[in-house]
Each structure stands twice: as C-alpha cells, then as structure tokens.
C-alpha cells in the first residue's frame, strides 16, 4: 500500500494493530505505534487509541497499555474493557477488579464483554460472593441479560470454589447447545478438589452432549489418576474412549 504511494488512515492502522494483537506480534505493533506517533494521526482518535490499548493488553505489556489508556482524552467502554481483559488474561486478576471498580466510579457503563472478564477474574482468585454480586448486578443494575459465556463463567466460579451443587444447577438450566463448556469447567475443577462423584456426573452429561469429543475422557482419566481410583474403574472410561474410536 505504502509502496504505491498511499498513506494508511486511522481505520487501516487500527485494523493492522488489531491483527498484531490477535497474533501476539508485539514488536510489529510497537513499530506501527511509532509510525502513528510520527504521522501525528493519533490525537483524539478513540478508534486508534483503543486499538493500541488492546494491542498492548493482548500482548501482555500491561504497563504500556495503562500508559496509552491514561493518555486517552476519552475512555469509552472499549478502552476500559480492553484494559480489564488484558489484566485478566495475563494473571493480574486483582488489578482487573480494581480497574473495574474505577470504571464503575468514573467510566462508562460496563457491557456484556466486561462482565465475562470480571466473572473470570473472580473465579481465578476465588472471590465467590463478590462474583455472585457482580453477576446479579448485570441484570439488576445494568440491564444486561446474561448469555452462555456469563453462565459458563458462573459455573467456573462455583466449581473453583467447590460449590458443585450450585455449578451443576446453573449448567442444567442452560440451553443444551451451550452446556458442554460448563461441564468441562466442572470436570476441570473436580481434579482440583478430587471430587470423583461430581466428576463422573459431569462426564456423563458431557458424554451425552458430544460422544465424539475427547475432552471429557481426558478430564475423567486425569481425575481418576489424581484420585488414585482403582484400575478397573479407570479402564471403564478408557473402554468408552476405545468404543468411540478416540484411542
């Protein structure tokens, strides 16, 4: 494009930055950032600003993401959510929650994507009651109807806290087409807690939804091994895998 004498505009730069963020091309993104600064096209452009926050957040350079964010004259819901998602994605869940509280105080209203990030952060650090309050506030305070991602995140929150009855109850209320990730989340948490009984129940539900998926078998086999289950019980799972041509 540039070889032919055309200069990229803000939309083009934003698209390139998004691509860099999606594939983790931090160095290339930084070069584009420098080019944007040299051409003085950033200014008050919220699209470019958000693209830069998103780039650095996805690539794990949260310091630079925060610097760009702070320099934005207007910080909209995309700006805040990109920063929160970056903190959450790279293991800084406490910072994600602090950022969310700041957003509630002085920023725009959070959206559905913001709450997916926040619920995951609560799950990761095990703040059950806080996560429940956030989930409830989606509808009561912000009028957001929870979707399958929110419900799966709630299942993760309960499962990681060892509240498997609540996790199973939420999963069972979800549409059948959306339940599989929820049962995977329960199976994963069962390894942490060594809960073979719930693990087997989640396995059965996942198996009924998708007999071709190897994931529930892998989780269940790992659960049996970690819980030192008898050889015969584990062979039952392996036999099912063999019957479905998964091994």
Q: What is the pLDDT of residues 91-111, one digit of tens each?
A: 999 999 999 999 999 989 999
What's the whole-number mean pLDDT along residues 169-184?
97
Could you tell me the CA-to-CA distances from 129 to 6, 236, 243 in Å, in that order?
54, 38, 43
pLDDT recorded at residue 138: 98
Average pLDDT, the chain: 90
pLDDT in tens, 157-172: 999 999 999 999 999 9
Per-residue pLDDT of 181-194, as tens digits, reads: 999 999 999 999 99
- Name the residue among 185, 199, 188 with its Cα closest to residue 229: 199
Torsion sign across C-alpha atoms 31, 35, 37, 38: positive
Say whether pLDDT at 135 is over 70.
Answer: yes
Instruction: Give the pLDDT band (50/70/90) at residue 218.
Output: confident
* Global model pTM greater than 0.85: yes
CB 126 within 8 A of CB 161: yes
Long-range contacts from 133-140, C-beta under 8 angstroms, 24+ separation: 138/112
Whole-number Å distance between alpha carbons of 167 and 186: 7
Map residue 180 onto helix, strand or coil.
helix
Q: What pLDDT was estimated at residue 247?
A: 44
242, two tokens:
């063999």
Residues contacting 173, CB < 8 A, separation 6+ = 151
What confidence tier does 240 reach under pLDDT thresholds 50, 70, 90?
Answer: low
145-160 average pLDDT score: 98
């Amino acid at each position: 494009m540039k070889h032919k004498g055309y200069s990229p505009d803000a939309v083009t730069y934003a698209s390139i930055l998004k691509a860099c963020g999606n594939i983790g091309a931090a160095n290339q993104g930084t070069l584009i950032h420098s080019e944007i600064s040299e051409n003085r096209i950033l200014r008050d452009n919220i699209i470019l600003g958000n693209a830069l926050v998103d780039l650095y957040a996805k690539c794990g350079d949260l310091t630079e993401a925060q610097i760009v964010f702070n320099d934005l004259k207007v910080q909209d819901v995309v700006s805040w959510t990109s920063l929160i998602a970056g903190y959450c994605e790279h293991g800084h869940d406490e910072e994600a929650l602090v950022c969310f509280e700041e957003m509630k105080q002085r920023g725009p209203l959070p959206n559905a994507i913001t709450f997916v990030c926040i619920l995951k952060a609560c799950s990761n650090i095990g703040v059950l009651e806080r996560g429940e309050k956030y989930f409830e506030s989606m509808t009561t305070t912000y009028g957001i109807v929870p979707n399958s991602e929110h419900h799966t995140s709630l299942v993760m929150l309960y499962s990681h806290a060892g509240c498997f009855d609540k996790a199973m109850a939420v999963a069972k209320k979800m549409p059948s087409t959306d339940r599989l990730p929820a049962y995977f989340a329960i199976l994963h948490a069962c390894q942490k807690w060594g809960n073979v009984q719930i693990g087997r129940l989640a396995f059965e539900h996942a198996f009924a939804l998708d007999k071709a998926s190897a994931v529930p078998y892998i989780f269940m086999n790992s659960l049996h091994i970690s819980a030192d289950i008898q050889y015969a019980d584990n062979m039952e799972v392996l036999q099912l895998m063999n019957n479905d041509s998964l091994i």
